[in-house]
Amino acid sequence: MQSRISTFFKPSSSSIPPKPADPPPISDTDDDELSIWEEKQHQQLSTYKRRTPNPQSWDKQLANTPISVVGSPKPESNVPGMTVVKNKKRSYAQYHLDLGQSDFLLKTCAECGVMYVTGDEGDEKAHKGFHNDYTRGIQFKGWSNERIVQEPTVGGGRILMVLDGDPPAQRNKVEKVVTMMEIELGSGWILPKLFKVYLFILSARIVGCLVTEPITKAHKVLSCAVDGRSSSTSVTTNRTKLTSLQFGEIKFHREFIRKAPSAPEPLNEYFTGAIICENEVVPAVCGIRAIWVTPANRRKRIATQLLDALRKSFCTGLVLEHSQLAFSQLASAGNALVSNYIGGEQFLVYNANNVAS
């Protein structure tokens, strides 16, 4: 039984692949013949020859090549075997989307109001120059024909007057100063067609400007609205004893205080309301459109000296009284100036838009 099973699992002779026959031994004679045959039959010689360029095809290629590529180190060509080098000089520009971000690319100067790009050398230099002109005054080298009105004694310097018919160089300088004034006072109304402008020159810079015009009528100021920080009302106390409480030797009395308004006071630096004027028209001579002093030179009585020079020189041979001066739009700083200069007297105001040019 065991022998039959072993016989069943034995591979048959037909399924076994035949063994390859051993190669015949190679003799020394065969090796010599093989080496001789390889040397004779398999020897190959490779020769390379450089092709001569065709000058006609090269000229045609240069004619079809752009000028910007001809100047490159290797001209552009479609001839096989030649390297194509293109001019890779490009100009790049950075774009930004300004969607109203509070601090994005542009920075606004809190003092002069100019917007500039931080990190940009050109922008920062331009802002620095404008900032100096605004805070310290525009540089002024002088004119050959100056109309000197007054040489102030306080702080030195001088005051010049410019008229609307003066040379263009002087008018251009006035317009440049007005541009600085418009940062604080608003644009489009400061300089009229008929004007007399007073410039305060100090240390080769224009540090103050007064713009005036001739007028014929104005209105008296009756009162003005001021906020609670000013002392526009006096307190009159009428104390009436209503009830009293006593705790031992301590007594508590309930009283009320009645406030009565007093006469209107002159404008002060806290003015925030409207000015009430009379309907009746009164005669006036000089209208003061705007007065401005550079931030670095304020509190030096420059505006007061400009007003004094105006009163002495506006009309030839006549010194104007305070009652002959009328003021246009009044800002908070201008209100304080008028109140101090007039000395609590009633002053005049006029509408600059109704002045005949």
pLDDT at site 3? 61
Answer yes or no: do 164 and 219 share one domain.
yes
Question: In terms of residue numbers, what domain contains 158?
Answer: 138-228+263-354
Please check whether residue 151 lies inside any domain of the structure.
yes
Which token pair is 61?
């290629």
pLDDT at site 234? 40
Question: CB of 350 within 8 A of CB of 222?
Answer: no
CATH code for the domain in which residue 214 is found: 3.40.630.30
Please check whether residue 48 lies inside any domain of the structure.
no
Answer yes or no: do 130 and 145 share one domain.
no
Per the structure, the count of domains in the chain is 2
Please check whether residue 98 lies inside any domain of the structure.
no
Answer yes or no: do 187 and 335 share one domain.
yes
Please check whether residue 181 lies inside any domain of the structure.
yes
One-letter amino acid at 116 equals: Y
Residue 67 has phi, psi (to 5 degrees) of -65, -40
Please check whether residue 13 lies inside any domain of the structure.
no
Answer yes or no: do 110 and 218 share one domain.
no
Answer yes or no: do 319 and 178 share one domain.
yes
Say whether 243 sits in a helix, a strand or coil: coil
User: Tens place of pLDDT for every residue, the chain, 357 residues?
Assistant: 556 666 656 665 555 556 655 656 655 555 667 666 666 655 566 666 677 766 666 566 656 665 554 444 555 555 555 555 556 667 666 666 666 655 556 788 888 888 888 878 888 899 999 999 999 999 999 999 999 998 876 667 899 999 999 999 999 999 999 999 998 888 888 999 889 999 999 999 999 999 999 999 998 887 554 343 433 344 444 444 456 667 667 776 666 555 544 444 444 444 445 677 788 889 999 999 999 999 999 988 999 999 999 999 999 889 999 889 999 877 667 777 887 888 766 788 898 876 654
Answer yes or no: do 206 and 301 share one domain.
yes
Answer yes or no: do 115 and 210 share one domain.
no
Say whether 274 sits in a helix, a strand or coil: strand
Answer yes or no: do 215 and 113 share one domain.
no
Which of 86, 120, 136 terminates a domain? The answer is: 136
User: b/e string for 176-189 if b means 16 or more Cβ within 10 A?
Assistant: ebbbbbbeebeeee
Please check whether residue 214 lies inside any domain of the structure.
yes
Q: Long-range contacts made by residues 153-157, C-beta under 8 angstroms, separation at least 24?
A: 154/300, 154/301, 154/305, 155/202, 155/300, 155/301, 155/302, 156/202, 157/200, 157/201, 157/202, 157/203, 157/207
Please check whether residue 42 lies inside any domain of the structure.
no
Answer yes or no: do 215 and 270 share one domain.
yes
State how far the Cα of 178 lies from the Cα of 211, in Å rounded to an integer.
9
Answer yes or no: do 125 and 267 share one domain.
no
Which of 114, 136, 158 terminates a domain? The answer is: 136
pLDDT at site 43? 59
Answer yes or no: do 283 and 331 share one domain.
yes
* Helices 332-342 and 302-313: angle between axes, nearest 10 degrees: 60
Answer yes or no: do 132 and 270 share one domain.
no
How far from the centroid of its chain's Cα atoms is residue 207's Cα?
22
